[in-house]
Copies of this chain bind each other. A is one copy, B any other.
Amino acid sequence: MDLHLTNILNDLAKDDFHAYLLTQFTNVEYISNYKPTSFAFCLIKENPVIYASGMDMELACRDSNIEVKEYESFEVMIKDMKDEGIKKLAIEPSLAYSTYARFKDSFTIDSKTYIDKQRMIKTPEEIEKITNATEIAQESFLQLDILNNTGSEKEVAFDLVRYMIENGASKESFDTIVTSGAESSLPHAVPLDKKLNQPVLIDWGCIYDGYCSDNTRTMVYTETQQEIWDIVAEAHDKAIKAIKPGMKCCEVDKVAREIISDYGYGDNFIHSTGHSLGLDIHETPGFSTKDETVIEKGMVITVEPGIYLEGEFGVRLEDTVNISRKGNVIGDLPLNID
């Protein structure tokens, strides 16, 4: 049996649960290799099983490493579960309330992060896929020749996605951000039909073999913009340098946040310092003020400090760190694009 499954079964046994219900597509994929395209219920127990939608049966039977049954109704599932002696059921934290409500009168239920705990630690194969995704995304970024690009934000975003797909990605890993001028003070700005203004902030990534990449670069032009860029770059570099297994995630956030605060921009750093990625673009743990998770080898977490000056501009710089080796930034794209 797969090591992740064994680990989760051990977690279940330790807490006296009889089964673990997963429905989030990437959780089902992580466990079974089958990527649902419609609803699916994955039940982890001694003999794990997926109840797949009729329309996904061909795909699920083709790709899944674990048994697949066709979903008929909640009543049938609940009867199967009771027949097997399941009384105490663990659920994933993201389970929809309406699904929980179908099960709550039949089982004793609590939400558990067993699956997230497995997904936190990437295997060498997973890290290789994230690395491939990052390299494709960075190579594609360079093809943009951004300093000489005269397109609109929307055109540049579109070209970047095109290059990533031409270079082997299956798709972008999130809505590509190409923003410039005053709009760059919105951390998740939407590309507009306007010509690139200054500065230019690009936050992009792709999916390769199921795994995500994530980077941000900001190209600055004026002295004021450069001053802010230098502060963000210092926070970026020092946070990456500080990372080591055994530290808490919040301590890395603190390194970046203190540097930016010391320069007087603490209130303008309006998000966490970073997040894990893998099958999803946002995974746990994250470098946030409240995340006490202890950093371990195998984690892959972004570092993305930013300063946002409303009505003026924003600067963010982001790289993805493979914590298997100290300070091992994935990819080799310089921070300073010139």
Contact = CB atoms under 8 A, between A and B. Distances in A.
A327 to B, nearest CB: 26
Interface in A288-329: 308, 310
Nearest to A57: B270
A158 interface: yes
Interface string A165-197: 100001100010000000001111010000000
Interface residues of A, number: 36
Contacts of A308: 58
A270 B55 contact: yes
A55 B188 contact: yes
B94 A271 contact: no
Interface in A83-102: 91-98, 100-101
A37 interface: yes
A162 B158 contact: yes
A93 B96 contact: yes
Nearest to A168: B193
Nearest to A91: B97
Interface in A47-86: 53-59
Interface of A: 37-38, 53-59, 91-98, 100-101, 111, 154, 158, 162, 165, 170-171, 175, 185-188, 190, 270-271, 308, 310
5 contacts: A37-B187, A56-B187, A58-B310, A59-B186, A101-B111
